[in-house]
Structure 1
Amino acid sequence: MRRKIIVGITGATGSIYALRLLKILSSLNDIEVHLIVSSSGVLTLRNELDLKINELYSLVSVVHNVKNIGDVLASGSFSTDGMLIVPCSIRTLSAIANGLSDNLIVRAADVSLKERRRIVLMVRESPFNLVHLRNMISVTEMGGIIFPPMPAFYHKPVSIEEMVDHTVIHAIKLLNIDIPGPVWKGI
């Protein structure tokens, strides 16, 4: 049985993380990816990567319209194995923290939280102010995982791609998906 993972992409900077995440997930035969992209996400993908949205669609199983609040992902009866929002804008974080389900990304996140499913928010837009931090605390208290994409260096990356891969693989592992990647072996 294929595991169902929801991926939301918002307009925060960091489209490279979203693209790499989808490429890695699409290489796993047992994963069914459900994609939701905000209109700002489409603009940022185009701006940062010169990427047309159809190029992303070819990497996923199902594409959902961000405006369709009546979509299957808006219901807890549609069972999933987790959700990643990569990148997650401060606006989306705020909406999730405060239960403002005005689009399908936020509603699917709300469902993930209420059903006690794993949800990882790769929050961007630093530095954080007090409201951002309080919203992160709220989401954490509800069971979400706040995972700002901060590069690690212990594996001695030699390229941006290696730094991005390390971060994305770590985020995927937070959904209990076993995938090979650098592991700290101690000193």
Structure 2
Amino acid sequence: MSRHLDENIGELAGDGLQDGIDARRAQWARELPHVDTRGMAILGRARWITLAARPKIEAIFASYGLDTGEADVLFTLLRSGPPYRLRPTELYKSMMISSGGATNRIVKLVKAGLIRQVASDGDGRSLPVELTEEGLARAREAFEADMAVETLMLESLSWDEQAQLARLLRKLALSLGSSPSLE
């Protein structure tokens, strides 16, 4: 490319809004005007949004006595539907973590009484895990609280803007081959 877009994404959209990413892009436009920084305009903002949102989301989980990884296990079991049971392999593939990471989380949640391992008709090496009644209740409450906080975080966007952003992010995620799957 001969020159990256000198205008900021906000300026192109005509909204006049500027943020720290715009300032960084302007600095790069002066220093290395031939470098296209549109990736920074999108991926840099996505990273900043994630970093800004994490503390609020993690505080919700902590209020339910969970860390992010533990909440992920409980939510994965909850969204699997009744009987809220998965084999450890299904669990870790669904969460996109290593089997060792899943095992550590399972051990902690069993000790906390939020999940239990159940006898299996088949493979004795891979005991399914399921939510206990307490785990089911805590997972539902924590997920509802998390979604309420995330909804509040999006209030500055209209419903149409939220839908458009979701469509565009899905398209980008699919193009990168990184969209979460439901194996």
- Normalized per residue, which structure has more strand? 1
Answer yes or no: same fold by TM over 0.5. no
Flag the structure with larger Rg: 2
Normalising by structure 1, report the TM-score.
Answer: 0.23
Structure with more relative contact order (C-alpha pairs < 8 Å, separation 6 or more) = 1
Compute the TM-score of the two structures, normalised by the length of structure 2. Answer: 0.24
